[in-house]
């Protein structure tokens, strides 16, 4: 299967059919994205007008190409896509990305046209991604085949498989501008006329560049095959899924989005759990969980130490952990409590969660947080730490080097940070900590939600390991 999709992810040459010299058009943005990411293969724009686009010679027709490229990207109206695809197969091109919408998600005529493309794929062996897709990103190959203006994309260890174009378009722009993790492979499946989620999951499951896989799906093209692949992949790496169309109204919306037909959500949930897939319920989780998995290690268990600058925050986060997130806020060992008490005023009883602010008023924020975080991380009952920093001009915004130092000293215990206070200090903390491997979140609840997914991933992988040993 890896070889079957290799031309999508490792193409030595790319043809862009419908390339344009007009800035702002999809056929122009694809060329710009490839150049911005320093794609090292051969690039062949095709447009009947010929000439040059961004300094690259343009071929007037597919038949004029000097070779059969590994991959073709068709940026054409739906009505012109089928004929261009036929010309690609006649040229010997064996893989194509079909960008256009207007197929089965729209009307019967579009469905018939999509059926013709499926027939062509069966008869010729050409592999098709889409239609109705934003394209794909394969950063180990410096490939950014998306019609959306992206610029230089950060390379990382997260792969997205999505029945939406968002992760190769505007959501990627958000990740690039607001987060500090990168991607390995990103695939917009579109209407799945040929290539489907099972094949791509199998590919990235054996991909050494991919640490974790996140999926957004509205339907399963081959449910049994997907579960078979997922059971295999989740032995080695986390697989997380947001399933769209899990309600009646959501399922109706999915039909008009990607022509997806939803299955009974209860049956889907049970099957996914058995396969080791972790389910998510919010779109934002696709970013929160990815950041946690990209930057920090998986926790060994589900116990969490909490540092908060407010008693109310400490109480509310404990309730969230215990009531909703299957996280345990354990009692600390006696020696840990003694260490914490040593840096706290006597009127505060130090326990988990730790109300850190009284200590900060005496010793300063840097010493209070540093000593308390170190003490909690030393505790054998704690698997992970969430620290809520309070930073303002008046109370101080201490240097945060000590947090990165603690993350290096305790590599088996993930540290997640959230902030409270002035926005400028929160932004500075995030910009400093995340490149050093400490996920940082605007709101405290987000840190605990991300930890919840990391714990679920660890549990799923361990469960799969036990099943294998018992088998």
Would the pLDDT of 264 be above 90? no
Q: Which pLDDT does position 327 carry in this prediction? A: 98
Residue 69's contacts (CB-CB under 8 Å, 6 or more residues apart) are: 11, 13, 14, 15, 42, 44, 93
Question: Can you tell me the mean pLDDT for 298-323?
Answer: 97
Adjacent-strand bridge partners of 52: 57
- 3-state secondary structure (DSSP) of residue 347: coil
Express each pLDDT in 154-208 by its tens digit.
999 999 999 999 999 999 999 999 999 999 999 999 999 999 999 999 999 999 9
Q: Which pLDDT does position 249 carry in this prediction? A: 64
Average pLDDT score, the chain: 93
Would the pLDDT of 437 be above 70? yes
Q: Which pLDDT does position 257 carry in this prediction? A: 45
Q: For residue 320, how many other CB atoms are within 10 A of its CB?
A: 17
**Any idea where the domains of the chain sit in the sequence?**
6-293, 297-459
Structure tokens at 348: 């505060």
- What is the pLDDT confidence band of residue 106, given thresholds at 50, 70 and 90? confident
Q: Which pLDDT does position 391 carry in this prediction? A: 92
Cβ atoms of 389 and 454 within 8 Å: the answer is: no
Question: Can you tell me the mean pLDDT for 448-461?
Answer: 97
Express each pLDDT in 28-64 by its tens digit.
999 999 999 999 999 999 999 999 999 999 999 999 9
Would the pLDDT of 252 be above 60? no
Relative orientation angle of helices 365-378 and 334-342, to the nearest 10 degrees:
170
- Which segments within 182-311 are labelled E, that is strand? 183-188, 212-217, 239-243, 278-280, 304-308
Cβ atoms of 200 and 417 within 8 Å: the answer is: no
Q: Same fold for the domain at 6-293 and the one at 297-459?
A: yes
Radius of gyration of the chain (CA): 25
Looking at residue 111, what DSSP letter applies?
Answer: H
Would the pLDDT of 8 be above 90? yes
Kindly give the residue spans of alpha helices, DSSP state H, lying in 325-422. Answer: 334-342, 357-363, 365-378, 401-409
Q: Which pLDDT does position 253 carry in this prediction? A: 56
What is the Cα–Cα distance from 246 to 28, expressed in whole angstroms? 37
What is the Cα–Cα distance from 419 to 232, expressed in whole angstroms? 38
Would the pLDDT of 329 be above 50? yes
Q: Which pLDDT does position 3 carry in this prediction? A: 73
- What is the pLDDT confidence band of residue 248, given thresholds at 50, 70 and 90? low
Question: Can you tell me the mean pLDDT for 122-142?
Answer: 96
Would the pLDDT of 255 be above 80? no
Would the pLDDT of 259 be above 90? no
Q: Which pLDDT does position 261 carry in this prediction? A: 45
Q: Which pLDDT does position 471 carry in this prediction? A: 59
Q: Which pLDDT does position 367 carry in this prediction? A: 95
pTM of the model: 0.94
Pick the CATH number of 6-293 from 3.30.565.10, 3.30.200.20, 3.40.50.300, 3.40.50.261: 3.40.50.261
Question: Can you tell me the mean pLDDT for 241-263?
Answer: 62
Cβ atoms of 319 and 359 within 8 Å: the answer is: no
Instruction: Say how far residue 171 (Cα) sits from the centre of its chain.
Output: 10
Would the pLDDT of 263 be above 70? no
Q: Which pLDDT does position 463 carry in this prediction? A: 85
Q: Which pLDDT does position 119 carry in this prediction? A: 95
Question: Can you tell me the mean pLDDT for 75-94?
Answer: 96
Question: Can you tell me the mean pLDDT for 1-23?
Answer: 92
- Concatenated DSSP letters of 402-460: HHHHHHHH-TTS-EEEEEEE-HHHHHHHHHHHGGGT--EESSHHHHHHHHHHHHHHHHH
Q: Which pLDDT does position 1 carry in this prediction? A: 52
Q: Which pLDDT does position 247 carry in this prediction? A: 62
What is the Cα–Cα distance from 341 to 348, expressed in whole angstroms? 8
Express each pLDDT in 133-151 by its tens digit.
999 999 999 999 999 999 9
What is the Cα–Cα distance from 373 to 386, expressed in whole angstroms? 9
Question: Can you tell me the mean pLDDT for 364-383?
Answer: 97
Residue 415's contacts (CB-CB under 8 Å, 6 or more residues apart) are: 296, 373, 377, 384, 385, 386, 387, 403, 406, 407, 438
338 backbone dihedrals φ, ψ, rounded to 5°: -65, -45
- Of the chain, the end-to-end C-alpha distance in Å amounts to 26
Would the pLDDT of 469 be above 90? no
Would you state the CATH architecture of domain 297-459? 3-Layer(aba) Sandwich (3.40)
Would the pLDDT of 352 be above 50? yes
Nearest residue to 143 (alpha-carbon basis) of 23, 14, 290, 26: 14
Q: Which pLDDT does position 306 carry in this prediction? A: 98
Nearest residue to 389 (alpha-carbon basis) of 350, 351, 416: 416
What is the Cα–Cα distance from 241 to 251, expressed in whole angstroms? 16
Nearest residue to 71 (alpha-carbon basis) of 106, 117, 39, 48: 39
Question: Can you tell me the mean pLDDT for 380-393?
Answer: 96
Question: Can you tell me the mean pLDDT for 228-242?
Answer: 97
């Amino acid at each position: 299967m890896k070889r079957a999709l290799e031309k999508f992810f490792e193409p030595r040459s790319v043809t862009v059919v419908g390339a344009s010299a007009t800035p702002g058009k999809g056929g122009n943005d694809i060329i710009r994205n490839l150049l911005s990411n320093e794609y090292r293969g051969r690039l062949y724009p095709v447009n009947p007008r010929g000439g040059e686009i961004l300094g690259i010679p343009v071929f007037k027709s597919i038949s004029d190409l000097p070779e059969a490229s590994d991959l073709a990207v068709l940026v054409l109206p739906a009505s012109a896509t089928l004929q261009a695809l036929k010309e690609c197969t006649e040229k010997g091109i064996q893989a194509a990305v079909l960008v256009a919408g207007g197929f089965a998600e729209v009307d019967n005529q579009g469905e018939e046209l999509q059926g013709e493309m499926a027939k062509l794929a069966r008869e010729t062996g050409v592999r098709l991604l889409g239609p109705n897709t934003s394209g794909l990103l394969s950063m180990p190959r410096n490939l950014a085949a998306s019609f959306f203006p992206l610029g230089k994309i950060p390379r990382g260890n997260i792969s997205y498989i999505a029945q939406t174009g968002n992760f190769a378009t505007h959501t990627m722009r958000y990740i690039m501008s607001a987060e500090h993790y990168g991607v390995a492979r990103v695939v917009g499946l579109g209407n799945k006329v040929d290539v489907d989620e099972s094949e791509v999951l199998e590919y990235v499951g054996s991909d050494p560049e991919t640490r974790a896989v996140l999926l957004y799906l509205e339907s399963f093209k081959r449910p049994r095959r997907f579960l078979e692949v997922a059971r295999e992949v989740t032995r080695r790496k986390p697989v997380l899924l947001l399933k769209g169309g899990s309600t009646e109204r959501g399922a109706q919306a999915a039909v008009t989005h990607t022509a997806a037909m939803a299955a009974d959500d209860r049956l889907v949930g049970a099957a996914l759990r058995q396969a080791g897939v972790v389910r998510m319920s919010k779109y934002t989780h696709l970013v929160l969980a990815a950041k946690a998995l990209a930057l920090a290690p998986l926790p060994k268990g589900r116990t969490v130490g909490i540092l908060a600058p407010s008693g109310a925050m400490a109480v509310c986060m404990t309730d969230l952990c215990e009531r909703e997130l299957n996280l345990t806020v354990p009692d600390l060992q006696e020696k840990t409590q003694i260490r914490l008490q040593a840096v706290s005023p006597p009127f505060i009883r130090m326990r988990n969660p730790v109300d850190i602010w009284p200590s900060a008023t005496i010793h300063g924020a840097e010493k209070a947080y540093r000593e308390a975080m170190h003490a909690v991380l030393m505790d054998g009952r704690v698997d992970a730490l969430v620290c809520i920093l309070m930073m303002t001009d008046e109370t101080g915004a201490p240097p945060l080097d000590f947090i990165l130092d603690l993350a290096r000293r305790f590599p088996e215990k993930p540290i997640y940070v959230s902030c409270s206070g002035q926005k400028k200090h929160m932004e500075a903390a995030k910009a400093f900590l995340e490149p050093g491997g400490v996920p940082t979140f605007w709101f405290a609840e987000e840190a605990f939600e991300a930890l919840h997914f990391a714990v679920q991933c660890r549990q799923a992988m361990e469960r799969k390991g036990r099943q294998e040993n018992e088998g």
